[in-house]
Amino acid sequence: MENLLDKAREEINEADRAIAAAFERRMTAVRSVAQYKRKTGKPIFDPAREAQVIERGTALISDEELRPYYAALLADMMRVSREYQHRALAVSDTIRVGTASGGYDIILRRGALREVGSLLKLDRKVMIVTDDGVPAEYTRAVAEASRTPTVLCLPQGEDSKRIPVWQSVLSKMLESGFTRSDCVVAVGGGVVGDLSGFAASAYMRGIDFYNIPTTLLSQIDSGIGGKTGVDMDGVKNCVGAFWQPRCVIIDPNVLSTLDPRQLRCGLAEAVKMAACFDSELLDDIIAHGSGHIDRIIHDSLMIKRSVVEQDERESGLRRALNFGHTLGHGIEAASGGALLHGECVALGMLPMSAGTAKEKIISALHAVGLDTMLSITPKLRGEILDAVSHDKKSASGGIRIITVDEPGRYGESIETAEQLGERLDRTFAVQT
Catalytic residue among 82, 86, 125, 304: 304
Catalytic residue among 329, 360, 381, 400: 329
Note if 161 is an active site residue. Answer: no
Note if 205 is an active site residue. Answer: yes
Catalytic residue among 37, 38, 86, 227: 227
CA distances from 121 to 25, 117, 213 (A): 43, 7, 17
Note if 322 is an active site residue. Answer: yes
Residue 398, beta-bridge partner list: 395
Q: DSSP readout, 271-299? A: HHHHHHH-HHHHHHHHHHTTTTHHHHHHH
State the helix-helix crossing angle for 279-288 and 293-310, rounded to 10 degrees.
160
Catalytic residue among 318, 358, 360, 381: 318
Residue 231, beta-bridge partner list: 162
Q: DSSP readout, 210-277? A: EEEE-SHHIIIIITSSSEEEEEETTEEEEEEEE---SEEEE-GGGGGGS-HHHHHHHHHHHHHHHHHH
Catalytic residue among 2, 39, 147, 205: 205
Note if 269 is an active site residue. Answer: yes
Catalytic residue among 314, 343, 383, 415: 314
State the helix-helix crossing angle for 293-310 and 67-89, rounded to 10 degrees.
110
Single-letter residue type at 3: N
Residue 211, beta-bridge partner list: 186, 248
DSSP 3-state helix, strand, coil percentages of the chain (rounded to 5)?
60, 20, 25
Burial of 21 (0-12, 13-18, 19+ CB in 10 A): exposed
What is the torsion angle, in degrees rounded to the nearest 10, for the CA atoms of residue 18, residue 19, residue 22 and residue 23? -150
* Three-class DSSP category at 85: helix
- Backbone φ and ψ of 168, nearest 5°: -65, -35
Catalytic residue among 86, 269, 272, 319: 269
Distance from C-alpha of 75 to C-alpha of 85, rounded to nearest angstrom: 15
Catalytic residue among 325, 358, 381, 400: 325
Catalytic residue among 322, 332, 381, 400: 322
Residue 160 CB contacts under 8 Å (≥ 6 apart), including other chains: 131, 154, 191, 192, 195
Give the helix/strand (H/E) hosting 150.
Answer: strand 148-154
Distance from C-alpha of 169 to C-alpha of 199, rounded to nearest angstrom: 7
Note if 292 is an active site residue. Answer: no
Note if 318 is an active site residue. Answer: yes
The dihedral of CA 13, 17, 18, 22: what is its sign? positive
Catalytic residue among 341, 358, 360, 381: 341
Note if 261 is an active site residue. Answer: no
Angle at 160 between CA 155 and CA 166, to 5 degrees: 120
Note if 314 is an active site residue. Answer: yes
Note if 237 is an active site residue. Answer: no
Q: How many residues does the chain have?
A: 432
Catalytic residue list:
205, 227, 269, 304, 314, 318, 322, 325, 329, 341
